[in-house]
Amino acid sequence: MLYVIAKYKEDVSWCNKLQNKIVYDKSDGSMPNVGREASTYLRYIIDHYDNLPSHVVFLQGNPFDHVSIPIDFTATPQVDYCKPFFKDLNTEPVDYYQGLHIREYFMQIFGKPPPNILDVSYGAQYIVPKMCILQHPIEFYKKLLSMLKNDSYEHAHYYNTYDPESLNAWTMERLWYYIFT
């Protein structure tokens, strides 16, 4: 199992106890700071696609913003499906944030309409078995990363127009569960 941590100016000293981890620090200029945690997760998947560990735990630099309970990282479960790391999935009507254009992006990415009620893990923090990542070819993840790189500050706000060449992190937050299941 490997922890992949998306950092941007957060204090990540909490992860010092983790044995197997990679911290992607966007604040040091090594990666462009676009796409929030989504671009970090995609970068990891693309760079390690042929050599993934059995499970990957994707976390934000400050994962505690989305959790109100103490976290025991030594009890990370070995699951055979994609699971939110900290808590159960939330549900949200697909059109709740109309400016995110979930219907359009879901159709573009998966080739089918989305469910009317989405399963979402706010904060996009998951434990994902290798087999769930490998269900899509590497080109799938490269396309998503390319779309995130086209994201602009204006596009990242909720109320905008649909742009099939650009994707923002808030839309990705609602798609991760479907990408990995």
Q: Tens digits of per-residue pLDDT, 34-64?
A: 788 999 999 999 999 999 999 999 999 998 8
Share of the chain above pLDDT 70, in %: 92
Cα(111)–Cα(178) distance, rounded to whole angstroms?
A: 12
pLDDT of 71 reads 74
**What pTM does this model have?**
0.91
Query: How confident is the model over 7-19, as pLDDT tens digits?
Result: 999 999 999 989 8
pLDDT of 25 reads 93
pLDDT band at 131 (very low <50, low <70, confident <90, very high): very high
Cα(17)–Cα(152) distance, rounded to whole angstroms?
A: 36
Structural domain total, the chain? 1
Mean pLDDT of the chain: 88
- Domain hosting 125: range is 2-180
Asked if pLDDT for residue 157 goes beyond 60, the answer is no
Asked if pLDDT for residue 153 goes beyond 60, the answer is no
Residue 82 phi, psi (nearest 5): -70, 130
**How open is the CA angle 156-157-163, to the nearest 5 degrees?**
60
pLDDT of 155 reads 47
